[in-house]
């Protein structure tokens, strides 16, 4: 039987108090790629030390309501032998877990991806719930390119997301439903709008078919933005307008919260755009407009940390600062001056 009340209250708590989610669930290849770029060794121990730096940031719970972990991290401990998941929970942050096993090539569809991980999912979800996780994440990837995305790719991913979401709810975990339309490429903002609207409408149709309780999910979409190499880059307010227009057309009001991914935007732009959405639409939006950033929260801290214990304190300050900026953006109170005065603990 579905634990409806628990799911509803967890989902609400994930977007309560103007706080947002911290995505720190990079898989081995993604985490190693980010480390390699900065010359940080790619080992179990460096990944553990990095994640310890993040979760022990003083005051993180002031702006962060939930943290998404990777399987390796949820089983790791700090150097003082405290389970990472306990550190998170003690900081008042809800622990979550990434459960897809990665986006693989979709057979018969060159350039398109399907996220895997449904096999054995029920048992994995039960274990994560017992460990203390209260929500999960599954990321589907949609690529805009020549003749793609195909309807078959969108349908396959939407169906998979819905199956995952239903399984999570059965286990008492709130599913973060993440259909990410990638920013890579030179496509226009209008193309991103069109594809994202189609994807979201199909995702919600599939969620309905699988009888997913919408009050007990969180949607994690991309913003409506031009491709990274598109010559025309719209202003912040135009991105905010297009994003809300697209979401208002395609996301039911029963969903409690929308937590955007950052997707390769700069940390400042991700804060600025979220801020604009909350200034313009906060009073009209049926859902909380929040964040679930990975790179836009972590990247400045990672670049300071560089794998060195001596840099932990400064790196934590940078992470704390980005979390505070996005907390302000949820209230529409973020501004460029915040970037000058770096917060101290
Ligand atoms: P980014 O904010 O770096 O896109 O990461 C969010 C995320 O969790 C992607 O799955």
**Is the CB of residue 51 below 6 angstroms from any atom belonging to ligand 1?**
no
Residues 128-170 have pLDDT tens digits of: 999 999 999 999 999 999 999 999 999 999 999 999 999 999 9
Entry pTM: 0.98
Catalytic-residue membership of 72: no
**Is the CB of residue 260 below 6 angstroms from any atom belonging to ligand 1?**
no
Q: Can you read off the two tokens belonging to residue 184?
A: 């890579």
- How high is the pLDDT of residue 341? 63
Tell me if 16 sits within 8 A of 326, measured CB to CB: no
- How high is the pLDDT of residue 342? 60
Residues 186-195 have pLDDT tens digits of: 999 999 999 9
**Is the CB of residue 293 below 6 angstroms from any atom belonging to ligand 1?**
yes
Tell me the pLDDT of the chain averaged across its residues: 97
Mean pLDDT computed over 265-293: 97
- How high is the pLDDT of residue 1? 66
Q: What is the CA radius of gyration of the chain?
A: 19
CB atoms within 10 A of CB 121: 20
**Is the CB of residue 291 below 6 angstroms from any atom belonging to ligand 1?**
no
Catalytic-residue membership of 178: yes
Catalytic entry in 26, 52, 178, 288: 178
- How high is the pLDDT of residue 2? 76
Q: How far is CA 114 from the centre of its chain?
A: 18
**Closest of 248, 242, 259, 148 to residue 195, by C-alpha:** 148
Q: Hey, which of 25, 68, 293, 297 would you mutate to test ligand 1's pocket, going by the most ligand atoms within 8 Å of its Cβ?
A: 293
Mean pLDDT computed over 25-54: 98
In three-state secondary structure terms, 37 is helix
Range with lowest mean pLDDT among 2-6, 69-73, 109-113, 203-207? 2-6
Residues 81-119 have pLDDT tens digits of: 999 999 999 999 999 999 999 999 999 999 999 999 999
**Residue 91 class from Cβ within 10 Å (0-12 exposed, 13-18 middle, 19+ buried)?**
middle
**Domain holding 212: CATH number?**
3.20.20.70
Rounded Cα distance between 171 and 127, Å, is 9
Residues 224-238 have pLDDT tens digits of: 999 999 999 999 999
Catalytic entry in 220, 288, 317, 324: 220
- How high is the pLDDT of residue 148? 98
Tell me the residue range of the domain where 301 lies: 4-344
Measured by CA distance, the residue closest to atom 5 of ligand 1 is 294
Atom of ligand 1 nearest to the CA of 260: 2
Tell me if 175 sits within 8 A of 227, measured CB to CB: no
**Is the CB of residue 139 below 6 angstroms from any atom belonging to ligand 1?**
yes
- How high is the pLDDT of residue 296? 98
Rounded Cα distance between 59 and 43, Å, is 28
């Amino acid at each position: 039987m579905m634990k409806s009340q628990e799911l509803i209250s967890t989902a609400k708590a994930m977007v309560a108090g103007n706080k947002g989610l911290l995505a720190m669930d990079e898989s081995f290849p993604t985490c190693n790629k980010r480390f390699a770029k900065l010359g940080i060794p790619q080992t179990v121990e460096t990944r553990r030390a990095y994640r310890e730096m993040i979760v022990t940031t003083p005051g993180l719970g002031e702006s962060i309501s939930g943290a998404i972990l990777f399987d390796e991290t949820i089983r790791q401990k700090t150097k003082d032998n405290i389970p990472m998941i306990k550190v998170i929970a003690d900081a008042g942050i809800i622990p979550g877990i990434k459960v897809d096993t990665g986006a693989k090539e979709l057979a018969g569809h060159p350039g398109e991806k399907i996220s895997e991980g449904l096999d054995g999912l029920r048992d994995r979800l039960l274990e994560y719930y017992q460990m203390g996780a209260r929500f999960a994440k599954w990321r589907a990837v949609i690529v805009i390119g020549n003749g793609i995305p195909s309807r078959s790719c969108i349908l396959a991913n939407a169906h998979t997301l819905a199956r995952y979401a239903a399984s999570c709810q059965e286990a008492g975990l709130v599913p973060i439903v993440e259909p990410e339309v990638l920013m890579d490429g030179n496509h226009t903002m209008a193309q991103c709008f069109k594809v994202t609207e189609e994807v979201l409408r199909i995702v919600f149709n599939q969620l309905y078919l699988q009888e997913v309780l919408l009050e007990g999910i969180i949607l994690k979409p991309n913003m409506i933005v031009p491709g990274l190499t598109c010559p025309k880059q719209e202003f912040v307010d135009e991105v905010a307008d297009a994003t809300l227009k697209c979401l208002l057309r395609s996301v039911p009001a029963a969903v409690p919260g929308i937590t955007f991914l950052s997707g390769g935007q700069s940390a400042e732009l991700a804060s600025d755009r979220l801020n604009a959405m909350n200034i313009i639409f906060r009073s009209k939006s049926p859902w909380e407009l929040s964040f679930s950033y990975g790179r836009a929260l972590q990247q400045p801290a990672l670049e300071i940390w560089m794998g060195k214990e001596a840099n932990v304190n400064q790196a934590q300050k940078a992470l704390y600062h980005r979390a505070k900026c996005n907390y302000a953006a949820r209230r529409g109170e973020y501004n460029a001056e915040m970037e000058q005065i770096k917060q101290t603990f």
